[in-house]
Amino acid sequence: MDKIILTGDRPTGRLHVGHYVGSLRRRVELQNSGEYKKNFIMIADAQALTDNIENPEKVRQNIIEVALDYMACGLDPIKSTLFIQSQISELCELTFYYMDLVTVARLQRNPTVKSEIQMRNFEASIPVGFFTYPISQAADITAFKATTVPVGSDQLPMIEQTREIVHKFNTVYAPVLVEPAALVPKSEACQRLPGIDGKAKMSKSLGNCIYLADSADEVRTKIMSMYTDPLHLQVSDPGHLEGNTVFIYLDAFCRQEHFERYLPEYGSLDELKAHYQRGGLGDVKVKRFLINVMQEVLEPIRTRRKELEKDIPAVYEILKKGSEEARQAAAQTLSEVKTAMRINYFEDQELIRAQSARYE
Ligand code: TRP
């Protein structure tokens, strides 16, 4: 079977290094692997509105930021279809039909929805659009017959819910939809990269993110201020790795060849960790190493972004073309869905004949 990728992000801010190790890096590899017939990458503006209704301008402004970050990371409009969710009206139609296949109780049990409701203080009054966004996300995925959805592990409940909807649809109507599989990063560090303050997750409101578009100076300052081990006061003290942001980032970013280039006195990350735990290795030395590693990863992204920023209309044009292409794919699926549901009345000669026979 042909493998197809669909994934996306809500445009509520610039993308940060958590997005990068959580999914972006993987998407670029998959795109370049040539193993996928299609790569659909969606800017989920309509989904972003479900919990930003007070701030639609934020969503509007950040579409270009996300597009620039995507392309700066290596998503290539020749190999991938980059598009904007709201421009694909077929997604709304699919959502409307899928709503009949999901119960309120099932949505209430969705762990991602549950925790987001808490985070946003929606307990007292949940917008219906927000509450039902897992259904619309199922439409996003199935409209493109995606087999593979590279995402952060927080999205697993969404993929599970999509699979259930697909199963239900295919059982009730006809097997036209494809059950997708999620692709999440292997390492714990990549799955939930903490903010520089060591807090659970990077978030713009906490001001603890390293953005892909940050300057080299900003990256350096942020890493120097990173949370490490509060018990590691003197260089000679034994250090702890649990919850130590600098080491978690090294887990996510550092490769063997970085040691040869920037810290040749250590053979591997395990050696560095062992020395830290024994005592005698200062935070500043580890931070300097992390700065070198991260600059090496971020520098080419920054440079490409600067180039792309010179021609913003061209980026909108890419999104427009991508949206047109995505729309064709979604329209094809919607047509198959309507046929399966037998609501394609005017193409259904058999129905028209049978109904006229009843009146003969
Ligand atoms: N929910 C995703 C997020 O918050 C964004 C998203 C919308 C998405 N539709 C999608 C991801 C479809 C993967 C597939 O990041």
pLDDT digits (tens, 9 = 90+) for 175-208: 999 999 999 988 888 888 999 999 878 887 788 9
- What number is the average pLDDT over the span 242-267? 94
9 Cβ below 6 A of ligand 1: yes
Q: Side by side, which strands form the sheet with 181-183? A: 81-84, 38-43, 4-9, 148-150, 181-183
pLDDT digits (tens, 9 = 90+) for 274-327: 999 999 999 999 999 999 999 999 999 999 999 999 999 999 999 999 999 999
Cα(133) to ligand 1 centroid in Å equals 10
Cα(316) to ligand 1 centroid in Å equals 21
For the CA atoms of 320, 321, 325, 328, what is the dihedral angle to 10 degrees?
60
Q: How many CB atoms lie within 10 A of CB 279?
A: 13
CB 64 within 8 Å of CB 45: no
Atom of ligand 1 nearest to the CA of 6: 14
pLDDT at residue number 186: 87
CA angle 240, 245, 246 (to 5 degrees): 85
pLDDT at residue number 183: 95
pLDDT at residue number 1: 59
Q: Which residues pair with 16 in a beta bridge?
A: 211
Cα(158) to ligand 1 centroid in Å equals 8
Q: Which structural domains are found in the chain, ordered by start? A: 4-191+312-355 (3.40.50.620), 216-308 (1.10.240.10)
Cα(9) to ligand 1 centroid in Å equals 5
Per-residue tokens: 189: 């560090």
% of the chain residues with pLDDT over 70: 100
Cα(31) to ligand 1 centroid in Å equals 18
Of 14, 39, 47, 133, the one to substitute when testing ligand 1's pocket (max ligand atoms within 8 A of C-beta) is: 47
10 Cβ below 6 A of ligand 1: yes
Q: For 181-227, give the DSSP string.
A: EEE--SSHHHHSPPPTT--SS--GGGT---BTT--HHHHHHHHHT--
pLDDT digits (tens, 9 = 90+) for 15-48: 999 999 999 999 999 999 999 999 999 999 999 9
143 Cβ below 6 A of ligand 1: no
Q: Could you give phi then psi for residue 68, rounded to 5 degrees?
A: -65, -45
pLDDT digits (tens, 9 = 90+) for 216-241: 999 999 999 999 999 988 999 999 99
CA atoms within 13 A on the CB side of 158: 29
- What number is the average pLDDT over the span 55-74? 98
If one compares 334 and 188, the residue with the highest pLDDT of the two is 334
